[in-house]
Structure 1
């Protein structure tokens, strides 16, 4: 096999592999251009030059995909770049080692877990559902226009609020890469991009909606769904805390549910009063399912029930109620407490608000007025729903179905 020849399609096609040996043949027309033939018969163009005393092999591409003319033009450019002081081979090595967006997210997750970031699960969901198009891209390839377009598309498709959360996540990830990982030369393509204007949400269950809501809840065949919604309404707790409620956190004798700081936004324990209606729901669950482990056990990897979106939509459709979210149940309890004349400070203590200024006020409050406030609020809800003032709840139906 010749060491040098004038490259043509026919001559390259005629090159035969040599068993156990990789063969190199140079082009007579373009200095530095060669073709390498592996023992398996694969053929690829390379530019071979000495850079700072070291021979560098810069792969141009497969000979079946790259034309001879393109290989010569590319080689000429590489030779000129080397003459100007640039090492294309080193640039390729750096490029190959550069983080992808997926790599950055993995490092960020490790850091968040070390800091016990409460919203990590939501961020992981947003990454999984909305950022897979960026996952395999090198960080330097992700452009500002691409992030702007993503935000715009999500604003229309999934809503302005979610689009803002995804944009904020991208911005946080790149800031983490720049400030914490010290990635050289990295810029943030999401920096300065305008968020959607978010209107403050004040949706609650209104008194006139309560009878329909409770009728629909009573007709729900899935006891997990029914109890979850009822406890969310009667405790005013965040939906993630209700889903992850354990029997170890419940004290029926003291009528309290203590949410540990590890699950709380402010990282302090939250004592939630359990009203008579809430206790009846929990007692019925304890009798039906036992009082061990999760209050709402599930078959998934979390071990407990996950947000029952289908069940919630089924309930709203049955009740004929629109634009109501699970989180609005938390706001509904507070609204009925305010309607009943309960002070904002007392409400804030039971809801576990984390504002430092208001926490200082809540800390001086005894638990008794808070428990009284929860009873007043849930009584007002049950009265509006047409349920007896004794706060009796609709008996649970037998049987279990998936939410």
Structure 2
């Protein structure tokens, strides 16, 4: 029995046929299998065969194809799509709300003012390429964030069969400018200590500065933990009488609009949930704080004067004030984590450094956190064996 005509692929048009209707009038027609699986005939007319065919091709480009259902279509604007996408992310709850808030900020301030009124069928790769290239002169970071958000949002249109491909994925790869990872030297650590001394001794309106900033910095250096993890630390997670003394990272601090600052009962990733042994200077910091500070309802190691959780942004702002006009003005809180990672990698290995920092992969630690030595290891005695006789 002869095989039948092969089934047309979904979204594919057949061959165009043009016929003369009457003198000076031609009709072009084609069969298209739409995204809902139904084959439909599309026609267009023109005064010549070529004109009718051009009209039909233009009609196919701008035609709104029936789908398997849903509220999205090729006529949906980017603003409408992103609104539905953000709502989906919030209801799903898989992504941190603070991350969704950042996506919304990028949409409102960067993407939608330029592209929001365009319909999905108008978002060609070339148009998005021009948009993204234009952002690079403003800020490479803004360009990178815009591409991530655009790609994720248009991925929803692909999943709903509105777009066959994601046009963002065909744009040029964004080249990230990488600076060499830098960790603190012994002399630079002394400069950090001097900067903290000056800040604590400075006379300013209001209450005298506490030792909180010094203690936070010291605990970051003693553990390699993130700021949010240090600020979320509770006394029930500290065991100074164990052998060796240790603390356990079980949460982090978040601040969200409408929700305020709160302790999230899980750190950034599963790998971030970890128990860390403490060096002597870290134990000394925590013992002193136990003696000097009365209890608080949160059981927080670093509560505010009002007994609430400290905000990460406030600590980062205070650190910028401390380092201002000093030789360590380049140092960020992440520099303390990089210093810990570099020291552990040199003394042990990168895998151990990754475990200490709570990374899911040592590759992340190697690429972004471990400073490369200025001078390669002394292997002259090994190379001596290569001398030609």
Look up the match of 1:172.
152
Look up the match of 2:320.
313
- 1:275 matches 2:279: yes
Look up the match of 1:19.
none
Report the CA distance between 1:148 and its aligned residue.
4.3
Out of 334, 357, 360, the position equivalent to 1:354 is 360
- 1:203 matches 2:207: no
Matches within 5 A, 1:1-400: 99-111=80-92, 113=93, 115=94, 117=95, 121-122=98-99, 124-128=101-105, 131-135=108-112, 137=116, 140=120, 147-148=128-129, 151-152=132-133, 154-158=135-139, 160-161=140-141, 163-179=143-159, 182=160, 184-185=162-163, 188-193=166-171, 194-199=173-178, 201-221=180-200, 222-223=209-210, 224-254=212-242, 255-260=245-250, 262-267=266-271, 269-286=273-290, 287-288=292-293, 290=295, 292-293=297-298, 294-297=300-303, 303-307=309-313, 308-339=315-346, 341-355=347-361
CA deviations on 1:272-303 (whole Å, 9 max, x unpaired) are 22222222323344432535523334699x94
CA distance in 2, matches of 1:207, 1:356: 25
Sort the Cα spacing of 1:343 and 1:187 in 2 relative to 1 into closer, same or farther, 3 A: closer
Instruction: Mark the structure with the bigger radius of gyration.
Output: 1
Report the CA distance between 1:142 and its aligned residue.
5.7
Structure 2: tracts of 5 or more residues without a match? 1-58, 65-70, 201-208, 252-265, 365-389
CA deviations on 1:86-130 (whole Å, 9 max, x unpaired) are 9xxxxx99768993423322212333x2x3x46x52453253256
Report the CA distance between 1:215 and its aligned residue.
0.6
Aligned partner of residue 220 in structure 2, secondary structure: helix
Report the CA distance between 1:191 and its aligned residue.
2.0
What count of residue pairs does the alignment treat as equivalent?
263
CA distance in 1, matches of 2:304, 2:132: 34
Aligned partner of residue 170 in structure 2, secondary structure: coil
Report the CA distance between 1:311 and its aligned residue.
1.8
Aligned partner of residue 186 in structure 2, secondary structure: coil
Sort the Cα spacing of 1:149 and 1:323 in 2 relative to 1 into closer, same or farther, 3 A: farther
Structure 1: tracts of 5 or more residues without a match? 1-80, 87-91, 359-403
Q: TM-score, normalised by structure 2?
A: 0.55
Aligned partner of residue 257 in structure 1, secondary structure: strand
CA distance in 1, matches of 2:345, 2:137: 35
Aligned partner of residue 190 in structure 1, secondary structure: helix
Report the CA distance between 1:134 and its aligned residue.
3.9
CA distance in 2, matches of 1:344, 1:125: 31
Contact 1:247–1:291 (Cα < 8 Å) also in 2: no
* Cα RMSD, aligned residues only: 4.1
Aligned partner of residue 169 in structure 2, secondary structure: coil
| Greater mean deviation of Cα atoms: 199-208 or 258-267 | 258-267
CA distance in 1, matches of 2:199, 2:342: 25
Report the CA distance between 1:332 and its aligned residue.
0.4
| Greater mean deviation of Cα atoms: 324-333 or 291-300 | 291-300
Look up the match of 1:8.
none
Aligned partner of residue 319 in structure 1, secondary structure: coil
CA distance in 2, matches of 1:121, 1:227: 27
Report the CA distance between 1:164 and its aligned residue.
1.8
Contact 2:86–2:100 (Cα < 8 Å) also in 1: no
CA distance in 2, matches of 1:242, 1:178: 41
Aligned partner of residue 199 in structure 2, secondary structure: coil
